[in-house]
Amino acid sequence: MTDNTMCKVQRILLALNDDEDSKVVNTLRGTRSPRFAVRHNGVVKSFRQATGPGTILLIHASYRSVYDRDSLYESLLDKTDIEVVTVGDFGAPDLIDFESQWVSWFAKHEAAAILVLPDHDIYCAVNALAKIPDLVRAYRDEFRRAGRF
């Protein structure tokens, strides 16, 4: 990755923190994602068994009604390898958090969504869905140079 691209990505990630109401939870960047069990299609599985090996944008299910796959997120996400998955302990999330471990983890970290890389590290987290497009752009710009897209 060139210095110019790295600077651009860092500027985007820093800009995500400008708005106090919708900042990035930067303390999670580079940490391992939890591996709490979930129920998927009626079967208890590990997070990775349920989602597969790719990059996952994991959204807390309480935000599902706000998240609209027909919005600008969809066109932006189509240009990446990101799979969007919701998790929660009520409603109809993609993954059912039957022990409320994910729900507690999201609350503890004040996160609305996290981007989990294939190596299980967290790329970044946001506490407002309005910041997902900026998060996805930063990810796309950083990994485009690596030839992933």
pLDDT digits (tens, 9 = 90+) for 60-91: 887 655 555 545 456 666 667 788 888 998 87
Give per-residue burial for 117-139: e unless 16+ CB within 10 Å, then b: beeeebbbbbbbbebbebbbbbb
Q: Which CATH number fits domain 3-144: 1.10.3720.10, 1.10.1070.11, 3.40.30.10, 2.60.40.10?
A: 3.40.30.10
Task: Please state, as a whole number, how many other Cβ atoms lie within 10 Å of the Cβ of residue 34.
Answer: 17
Instruction: Note down pLDDT in tens along the chain; length 149 residues.
Output: 444 444 444 544 444 444 554 445 567 888 999 989 999 999 999 998 999 888 999 988 876 555 555 454 566 666 677 888 889 988 788 899 999 999 999 999 989 899 999 999 999 898 888 888 888 888 888 877 666 54
CA atoms in the 13 A half-sphere facing the CB of 144: 13
Residue pair 131/24 in contact by the 8 Å Cβ criterion:
yes
Domain ranges of the chain: 3-144
Beta-ladder partners of 86? 59
